[in-house]
Structure 1
Amino acid sequence: MDVTAADVLAHRAAVQGLHDGDLGVLALGVVDSPPNTGAAAIAVRRLGYDEPLVRVLSLRGAPHLHRPSDVPGLRRVLRPRTPRQLQAWCGGMPAPELSDVDLVVELMRREFPGETATKGELSAAISPLLPKRATPYCPSCKTEHVIEGLFRLGTLLAGIELEPRGAKLVFRAPGPNDEGDSTLVSDYAHYVGPFAKADVEKWLGAGPQDTWPELRPVTVEGRKLLLGGDLVEGDELPAGLLLFPRDPYLLGPRWLVAEPDVAKRVWRPVGSPGALVTHGRVTGAWRYAFSGRTMIFRVEGWSRVEGAARKAIKDQADVLAGVWGADVLEATVVEW
Structure 2
Amino acid sequence: MEATRAQVLAHRAAVQGLHGGVALDDVEALALGFVDSPPKTGGVGIAVRTGPVDLDGLVRVLSLRGAPHLHRRADLPVLRRELRPRTPRQFAAWVGGFDPPDLGHLDLLIELLRREFPGDRATKGELSAAVSPLLPADWTPWCEPCGADHVVDGLFRLGTLLAGLELEHVGARLVFRKPTGPLPVVEDAGEPTLLRAYARLVGPFAKADAEKWLGAGPRAAWPQELRPVTVDGRGLLVSEDVGEAPPPPAALLLFHRDPYLLGPRWLVAPDAAVAKRVWRPVGSPGALVVHGEVVGDWRYSFSGRTVTFAVRGWSRIRGAARKALGEQAELLAAVWGASALEPNVVEWAQP
What is the TM-score of this pair, normalised by structure 1? Answer: 0.97
Q: Which residue of 1 aligns with 2:82?
A: 77
Give the direction of change, closer, same or farther, for the CA distance of 1:47–1:212 in structure 2 (3 Å limit).
Answer: farther
Q: Which residue of 1 aligns with 2:137?
A: 132
Report deviation, 1:231. Answer: 2.0
Aligned length: 336
Partners of 2:273 and 2:246 lie apart in 1 by 28
Report deviation, 1:331. Answer: 1.3
Partners of 1:300 and 1:48 lie apart in 2 by 26
Query: Residue type of the partner of 1:335?
Result: Q
The partner residue of 2:263 within 235, 252, 267 is 252
The partner residue of 2:345 within 318, 323, 330 is 330
SS for the counterpart of 2:94 is helix
Partners of 2:178 and 2:287 lie apart in 1 by 36
Partners of 1:298 and 1:247 lie apart in 2 by 19
Is the aligned partner of 1:53 residue 2:63? Answer: no
Deviations 1:201-225 (A, max 9, x none): 1111111111111200001111110
- The answer for unaligned runs of 5 or more in structure 2 is none
- The answer for unaligned runs of 5 or more in structure 1 is none
Query: Residue type of the partner of 2:58?
Result: L
Deviations 1:39-89 (A, max 9, x none): 100111125654600000001100000000001110111100011111101
Q: Which residue of 1 aligns with 2:18?
A: 18
Partners of 2:214 and 2:106 lie apart in 1 by 18
Partners of 1:98 and 1:232 lie apart in 2 by 44
Q: Which residue of 2 aligns with 1:188?
A: 198
Report deviation, 1:198. Answer: 0.8
Partners of 2:302 and 2:110 lie apart in 1 by 41
Q: Which residue of 1 aligns with 2:208?
A: 198
Q: Which residue of 2 aligns with 1:207?
A: 217
SS for the counterpart of 1:7 is helix
SS for the counterpart of 1:45 is helix
Query: Residue type of the partner of 1:188?
Result: Y
Q: Which residue of 2 aligns with 1:8?
A: 8
Query: Residue type of the partner of 1:70?
Result: D
Partners of 2:305 and 2:35 lie apart in 1 by 26
Contact 2:27 2:49 in 1 (8 A): no
Query: Residue type of the partner of 1:39?
Result: G
What is the TM-score of this pair, normalised by structure 2? Answer: 0.93
Give the direction of change, closer, same or farther, for the CA distance of 1:48–1:286 in structure 2 (3 Å limit).
Answer: closer
Report deviation, 1:332. Answer: 2.0
Is the aligned partner of 1:220 residue 2:235? Answer: no
Greater Cα shift, 179-188 or 203-212: 179-188
Cα-Cα RMSD: 1.4
Report deviation, 1:233. Answer: 2.1
SS for the counterpart of 1:167 is coil
Query: Residue type of the partner of 2:315?
Result: S
Give the direction of change, closer, same or farther, for the CA distance of 1:41–1:294 in structure 2 (3 Å limit).
Answer: same
Query: Residue type of the partner of 1:242?
Result: L
SS for the counterpart of 1:202 is helix
Report deviation, 1:126. Answer: 0.8
